[in-house]
Amino acid sequence: MAAPALLLLALLLPAGAWPGLPRRPCVHCCRPAWPPGPYARVNDRDLWRGDLWRGLPRVRPTIDIEILKGEKGEAGVRGRAGRSGKEGPPGARGLQGRKGQKGQVGPPGAPCQRAYAAFSVGRREGLHSSDHFQAVPFDTELVNLDGAFDLAAGRFLCTVPGVYFLSLNVHTWNYKETYLHIMLNRRPAAVLYAQPSERSVMQAQSLMLLLAAGDAVWVRMFQRDQDNAIYGEHGDLYITFSGHLVKPAAEL
C-alpha cells in the first residue's frame, strides 16, 4: 500500500513542492517560454522555424547608393533605326515666310513663231464685163507671201486661219457703171458700186473677214442691163486688191 500511495502523491504534487529539489520554471510543451530560463533548450528545429526571433524588433539596413555608384560609362553603339510609324494628320498651316531674294535673269527664250499671211495685187489693163458674172483676174504681183494668191484665177486661198483685212480700189470708166463684189467663196461679202458719170473717179471698199483654212477670197464683176467696166492703163496702176492677216485664229 505504501508504494502506490507514493506514486499517486508524486503525480499530484508540483515539482517544486518536493523538499530538497530545485525549483524549475514552467515550460510550455508547444512553444518555449520567452525569455528562456536557465533551463531552456534551443534546438535546430526552433531556429529553423524562427520562433525565437519573432519577438525581436526588425532592423532594416540602409545602404548609401552614392558610395556604391560607379563612374559614368562610355556611350554605347547606336542601335538600328526603328520602323517608320504611320503618317500623322496634317498640321496647322504655318506662318508666311519672308520674301526671298530676287533671282538671276534666265536665258533668253526661243523667238515667238507667229504666222503671217498677206497679198497685194493689181491690174494695169482695163476690163469690160462680158458675162453676167465674171471673176476679175490680175496681172501685177506686189506682195504674195507663200504664193497664196493665184493671179490668173484672181483668188486668194487662205492657209492661215484668222481675221483678215481686205481692200479693193478701182478707177471708174466714163459713162459706164461700176459694179463689183468682194466674194468669200460663193457668197458676196461686200459691194463696190459707182453710177455712170461723165467723169471717172477712184472708188474703194474695205472690210474685215474671219477666214478658215481653205476659204477663197476673190473679186467678181456683175453685169446688169448696161455696160459694166473698170478703167486701167499700162503706165499706171489703178486697180488693186490687198489683204493681210490681222490676228491668227489660234490667238482668238
CA distances from 137 to 3, 149, 170, 173 (A): 182, 11, 13, 18
Residue with cell 525565437: 52
pLDDT at residue 46 above 60? no
74 exposure class (CB count in 10 Å sphere: 0-12, 13-18, 19+): exposed
pLDDT in tens, 69-96: 677 888 888 888 888 888 888 888 888 8
pLDDT at residue 139 above 60? yes
Of 134 and 41, more confident = 134
Q: Please, which pLDDT band fits residue 68 given cuts at 50, 70 and 90?
A: low
- Helix (H) or strand (E) holding 47, with range, is helix 44-49
pLDDT of residue 122: 97
Q: Which of 7-11, 31-35, 72-76 has the lowest mean pLDDT?
A: 31-35
3-state secondary structure of 63: coil
In three-state form (DSSP H/G/I as H, E/B as E, the rest C), the secondary structure along 30-45 is CCCCCCCCCCCCCCHH
Q: Which of 16-25, 114-123, 193-202, 203-212 has the lowest mean pLDDT?
A: 16-25
The highest-confidence range among 4-8, 32-36, 110-114, 174-178, by mean pLDDT, is 174-178
The structural domains of the chain, with segments of one domain joined by +, span: 121-251
Report the percentage of the chain scoring pLDDT > 70: 73
Bridge partner list, 171: 202, 231
Q: Indicate the pTM of the whole model.
A: 0.57
For 201, the grid coordinates are: 473717179
Q: Please, which pLDDT band fits residue 48 given cuts at 50, 70 and 90?
A: very low
Q: Which residues contact 23 (CB under 8 A, 6 or more apart)?
A: 15, 16
pLDDT in tens, 89-128: 888 888 888 888 888 888 887 777 778 999 999 999 999 8
32 exposure class (CB count in 10 Å sphere: 0-12, 13-18, 19+): middle
pLDDT of residue 144: 97
* CATH numeric code, 121-251: 2.60.120.40
pLDDT at residue 172 above 70? yes
pLDDT at residue 67 above 80? no
Chain centroid, CA 118 distance in Å? 42
pLDDT at residue 51 above 60? no
